[in-house]
Copies of this chain bind each other. A is one copy, B any other.
Amino acid sequence: MERRRQARGERRMAEILDAAADAFAELGYEKASTNAIAARAGISPGSLYQFFPGKEAVARALADRFVADMRAAHAAAFTGAEVAGMDLDELLDRVVDPLVAFNLANPGFKALFARPDMPSALAGSSQPIQAAMLGQVEAILLARVPGQEPADRARSARVLVRIFQAMTPLVAASPEEERPAEIAELKRVLKGYLTSLSA
């Protein structure tokens, strides 16, 4: 069902995703109307639907782009290949800092990432992001806590991602000068949990 796109169309799609990220960041997912997204993109409501079949599709495409950007920027730090022997504090710095930076640089990200109000937990707009995060955290767990049962590893990954999700808005909402302290608390929580897993 893919239709042939012209260069202008590809550009428009990117502009729509930019506008959607803006709107999600400022208004939240629910209150960011498709008309508002179209207006921010400088196009008419109808034009938006030339490129995306609906609001969910816009959100999912935006989530995919976030995941791709994240991977492109921080793939090395997150792979967990040479992560096995690393000092835990250094590991946390290497993983958490870029992720926090990405969250602060992309305010629309957390509107899709940190929303626990799942309409039905199925096919949510944030599913791509969730899946990507869970996979990478599991890879790190596999390297750091080798003795863990697969089911326990999956659960621990969910817990770690959830903690990050929950703390990120706290970091983003705090004034500039208190952010280092908030980030330190986030790392402290993650470290405490990871330490108790290895024990």
| Residues of chain A whose beta carbon lies under 8 Å from any beta carbon of chain B | 28, 30, 114-117, 121, 155-156, 158-159, 162-163, 165-167, 169-170, 173, 181-182, 185, 188-189, 191-193, 195-197
Contact = CB atoms under 8 A, between A and B. Distances in A.
Contacts of A169: 116
Identical copies of this chain, number: 2
Contact of A181 (B30, B115, B155): B155
A92 to B, nearest CB: 12
A159 B115 contact: no
A197 B155 CA distance: 25
Given A159-B185, A189-B189, A166 B116 contact: yes
Given A165-B166, A166-B165, A166-B166, A189 B159 contact: yes
A19 B48 CA distance: 38
Given A166-B162, A192-B196, A185 B155 contact: yes
B173 A167 contact: no
Given A155-B181, A159-B185, A188-B196, 10 more contacts: A30-B30, A30-B117, A115-B116, A121-B173, A155-B182, A162-B170, A166-B166, A188-B197, A189-B189, A192-B193
A-B pairs, 9 with minimum CB distance? A192-B192, A166-B166, A192-B196, A192-B193, A189-B193, A162-B166, A159-B185, A188-B196, A28-B117
Contacts of A117: 28, 30, 115, 117
Contacts of A158: 170
A165 B196 CA distance: 21
Nearest to A182: B155
Contacts of A188: 193, 196-197
Contacts of A28: 117
